[in-house]
Structure 1
Amino acid sequence: MKEKVSLFHRLLPLPFVSFLVAISWLMLGHSLDLFDILVAIILGIVIPKMIEPFLFSTPKIRWTLAFKLFFVVLWDIIISNIRVAKQVLGPSKNLHPKWFRVPLDSEHEHVNTLLAMIITTTPGTVSAGIDQERGDILVHALSTDDVDGEIDTIKQRYEQPLLAIFNVEQGDQT
């Protein structure tokens, strides 16, 4: 049996998001002209309807662990920026760039995609691609003498928390 949805909910499936979009448009335009108000209303209706399917298909995650990981990554970004600045401004003979592969403990697409994004976001490392068949991520480090240490750091600081955030057991394919 199909649930009856009110006209209000069909028009504004996410009223708070609609409000934020409309107000943001008005604030960006620094105007309360009739045209800008109409555009704000239209955007406030259209944009939430477009993003609604993405919002309700998000996986169940553990938010407290996600916030902890956010601050770990933020800290690592700050420290890495300082380290990379010293390396780049120092003698180039001190740089030891390396390519290496980080084996993945899961085939979970959200975990692996976020892991690749975190690697790329952290200065000094770039993920070049996720190889699903091999089950690893190809990573380039600006400078490292300890590839195994880099791999361990990535797995312990980022992959393990991501697996916990998404309630994924190692080897899970969902």
Structure 2
Amino acid sequence: MIRFFNWLFPHPFLTLLMAVVWILLQNEFSWGMAVFGVILGVIIPRLTANWWPDRPQGFRIVKMIGYVLIVLWDIIIANIEVAWIILTRRNKNLRSVWITIPLDLRSPEAITILAGTITLTPGTVSADMSNTGHHLLVHALDAKDPDAVRDDIKSRYEARLKEIFV
């Protein structure tokens, strides 16, 4: 049974994501479009499974939901902080820095989510990854302590992603 499930849903998260995106693209909910979104979410990953040989073997969806909530909260807070910087300092005295973050993550999917999370959060952007895939280059708009920014990214995001992608 588990073997059939893994065959049918080679990328369960991608299946769920595609179904949700399809429903959102319709601009109004209908059960028919929801079912069609699920069908697309099953068929497309199944047809492209051969090109994803190193997919993560374990994925904890409950921990991912918690991660998404934390990221959404951080995006709201970062928007307020960046707006405050723009309104009060008008780009004076910005402590803009480049930070190299050593990665403990090895899964390409987890690294992609980490880089996307950093970029989605206003005030930071992931700019490059080392050739070995062991370091991420991040630009921070205003950082009093670059080491604290690095440690925050590692503890707040990377540690959780390590728990999500087993």
SS of 1:126's equivalent? strand
Deviation at 1:94, TM superposition (A): 3.1
Amino acid at match of 2:79: N
TM-score computed with the length of structure 2 as normaliser: 0.69
Change (3 A) 1:21 1:161: closer
Change (3 A) 1:21 1:74: closer
Residues 99-130 of structure 1 show CA distances to partners (whole Å, capped at 9, x for unaligned) of: 11111013221111111000000000000012
CA RMSD of aligned residues (A): 3.6
SS of 1:99's equivalent? strand
SS of 1:107's equivalent? coil
Q: Distance in 2 between matches of 1:163 and 1:117?
A: 15
Selected match of 1:74 from 52, 72, 81:
72
The 5 A counterparts of 1:4-153 are: 47=40, 49-53=43-47, 59=56, 60-91=58-89, 92-133=91-132, 135-153=134-152
Amino acid at match of 1:128: A
Q: Distance in 1 between matches of 2:127 and 2:68?
A: 22
Greater C-alpha Rg: 1
Deviation at 1:144, TM superposition (A): 0.5
Deviation at 1:133, TM superposition (A): 1.8
Counterpart of 2:162? 163
Structure 2, unpaired ranges of 5+: 1-14
Q: Distance in 2 between matches of 1:26 and 1:106?
A: 36
Deviation at 1:132, TM superposition (A): 3.8
8 Å CA contact 1:87–1:94 kept in 2: the answer is no
State which drifts further: 83-92 or 48-57: 48-57
TM-score computed with the length of structure 1 as normaliser: 0.66
Change (3 A) 1:26 1:102: closer
